[in-house]
Structures are given as structure tokens and as C-alpha cells.
Chains A and B, each alone.
Chain A
Amino acid sequence: MVVSDNELMARCRLGDTAAFETLLDRWQRPIARLLERLTASGGSGATGGRGGRMLTPPLSMEVEDLAQEVFLRVLEARERYDERGAFSTWIYRIALNVTRDAARRRRSRWRRLVTWRPTTGGEPASPGEQVSRVERAAAVNAALAALPRKLREPLVLRHFGGLTFAETADVLGTAASTVKSRLKQGLLRLRAELARRGIDEREFES
């Protein structure tokens, strides 16, 4: 029988290291995935577009550091954890705060000297050319990274965290209606970004 996250947290609070290990095993990959999407900057990593390198880059040091920070905060806050809520929502909220803190640190360090903007990805598509799924995924990642944080966060939580509208709103600390309108704006902006990279609805028609 699979032990629930809440049960593991309760044991963890009593100093059960094995329970924490289980939580870590269960959650470190989804958290890292989420962190990477939340922190990806348009200028780095997969630049998308055609002819770019399609090898998956290794998980950056930064993401590992952030993931470590998330689990440290989990440990630090274990006394305050409220078992009535869902563990997933709780840990995603921590992850979100960690990325926001990191962004604030980075911003204050650079004083916005450098603005990360995606280099307009690749050459425009020649008509009729089909883009491979992998290339398309890279382009989507880059487009997602180019979105403002406000629009990116709900999309990432929804798609890469698998949260519902209500859970997303809970994690973000906003109203569900705000989440809805931001998701909508985000999807439209994503579409526009991809159109600049030569990817549009025709991709799915054939």
C-alpha cells in the first residue's frame, strides 16, 4: 500500500528520516521539472527554432540548488505543515516562492542590467515544412520562457504540475477567476510567440 504524503509528513515531523527520504524520492523530480519551467529564461537553454541543438541539456546547477532549497524549506516548515491541505499544493507553493526569491535576488544583483529576451528563434519556416515534435517542444519551451512570470506561472503549474484551476489559485494565492484569465492570456501569448517562430495551427492539420 502506498503511504500518503500527509502520513509521510507526519512521520517526518517525528524525526523519521526514512519517511523524508520517501518524500524526497517521490517529489524531487516533479519539483525539479516545475522549477526548471518556472525559472527558465528566454536567453538560455533550448533556444528552439530550427537547426538548434536538440540534445537535452543537463539539469542546471541552479535548478538542483533550488530543488535543495525547496526541500530544506519543507524540513524547516514541517512543524507548521497543516495536514488538512494537500501536500502537493503546499510543496508547489514552496517551490513557487523559492523561484520568486531567486528571481528577486537575481534581479537585484543585476539591477536589470541584462534583460533576458529570446533571440527571435531561428529562421522563419519555409512553407509546407513540417517541424519535428522534438523541435516543436524546444520552441514551446523557449516561448514559455519568454512569457512574463505572471502568465508563465499558472501555465507551468497547470501543465507541469498537473494542478486544477482551484489548486493553481491556491498555490498562487489568487482568485480562481484571475487564474482563468491569466491562463487564457498566457495561451494566446504563447501562440503569438510561436507564430513568430513559424509555428502555427497548420502544424496540427496534417
Chain B
Amino acid sequence: MNCSEVQSRLVELVYDELSADEAGALRAHLAACEACRGSHRELLFGRRLLDEVPADERPVSLAAQPLLTALAQRAQRSRRRWRRLAAAAVAAAVAMAIVLVAGLRVEVRAASVVIAWDERAEPVAAPPALSPPGPGVAQFEARVRRLEAAGGHADEYAERLLEHAARLAELDRLLGAAVRQVLEVDARQTADAARLSGEVANVRRAAGEELARLRERGELRWRLIEYELAQRPVPRQVASVQSPTPSEN
């Protein structure tokens, strides 16, 4: 055995990981070789120092029950994290579906995001505003919560949510159409009202002219008295009640 071989196996000798024969051969070399003996001494010194470090007898106070609880909490946390991720994915899918189904056009520009409605829609009035969350949306949300409570799978969620999203988009389109109709009716009524108010103004003007003419002729007073009398005929009963009055005087 030469020095380099011995050097490469000294650690094994130090840690007693050699067979008796191998150890014997190494020791024989060490007995004859001062340099290798030095190396051996250095390694052995390190080993002895480490062996001398007393075992740490300080108690550790881990108990099974808290660990099991912590484990359950951790599993729940990771489940919740996955569920949040799935919910985010579903939300993105729903948004996509609404964009596709409702025929919205989304353009991302340098400084703005433009959302355009279907251009073929009749250009009546302003584009209908997005419908406020009606019973449809509430039902939808309730459904999502129920599904979540039931702990269903993300795929199943996504499928059902997409279905709902499509239905919602359809509802939204119907609602838009209704809004447009209402606006149309409103416009028609506005025109009617304008026409009527014009007529009223004409009548009023004519009446004014008639009044002026009558006033000029000094006939107004008499006409008014006649009018009053015509409007409020003296009731018979009043006449009969009034009749005894002169006798009191």
C-alpha cells in the first residue's frame, strides 16, 4: 500500500469503517510512515473532539395532538389556496364568456381599455347601461356559494358557471333590448307631449286675445257676472231659508 492509497482511506480507518484486514494493512503502513501517521493523528484528533461533545439531554416537548391539529390546519390552508386559485380561473373564464357571448369587443390601448357593444344594434338612444345586479345575479352568486359549500370540483364549477354565464349574458341582451324599447316609447311620448303643449299654448293665446277684445268693449264685467251665475245657480234650499229674513228686520 502506498501513501496516496493510505491517505484516501484514512477517514475510513478513523471512523472504523474498514474490515480487520484492511485496517491491519493501513496500520502497518502508518507504523512505517511518519507523514501518514501525522495525517492520521490530525483526523483522529477531530474525531475525538467531536465524540467528546456530551449528548444534549435537554427535553423536547412536542406532543402528538397539537401536531395533528397543525397538520389538519395546514391541509385546510392548502385546500383553501387551491380553491382560491380555481375561483380566480373561473372568474377569468366567466369574464371571457361574457365578452364572447355578449359580442363585446375589448381593445386594450395605450392608455385605456375600450369595451364596445355590437355595432349592428339599432342606434336608438344611448347604449343601455349594464343592468344592475338583479335577481339573476343574486341567484347566480347563491349558486356559486352552494357549490363551494358542497366542496365540488373545480372542473364542475367551471362548467356550471360557464353555463350560467351564457344564460346571464342572454338575459343581459334581452334586458338591453327592453331598455331600448322603453327608451323608444319614451321618445314617442315626449313628442306627443310637445305637440299637446303646443296646442295648449295656441288655445291659451286665442283665449287671451278674446279677453283683451272683450275688455276693450267694456263687456268683460257683464260676461263674467253671467258666467258666475251660470256656474253657480242659487240652490233652491238657500232661497227658501233666506225668505224669512226680511220679517226679522
Contact = CB atoms under 8 A, between A and B. Distances in A.
Interface of A: 17, 20-21, 24, 28-29, 31-33, 36, 56, 58-59, 64, 67-68, 71-72, 75-76, 133, 136-137, 140-141, 144, 155, 158-159, 164-165, 180-181, 183-184, 186-188, 190-191, 194, 199-201, 204
B224 interface: no
B166 interface: no
Contacts of A194: 49
A191 B53 contact: no
Contacts of B129: none
Given A67-B62, A158-B15, A188 B50 contact: no
Contacts of B82: none
Given A141-B53, A165-B15, A68 B62 contact: yes
Interface string B58-91: 1111111101101100100000000000000000
Contact of B49 (A24, A29, A140, A164): A140
11 contacts: A21-B63, A29-B60, A36-B56, A56-B58, A72-B71, A133-B52, A140-B53, A159-B50, A165-B17, A188-B46, A194-B49
Interface residues of B, number: 36
Contacts of B57: 29
Chain B interface mostly = helix
B21 interface: no
A158 B58 CA distance: 20
Contacts of B63: 21, 24
A149 B234 CA distance: 120
Nearest to B43: A187
Contacts of A36: 56
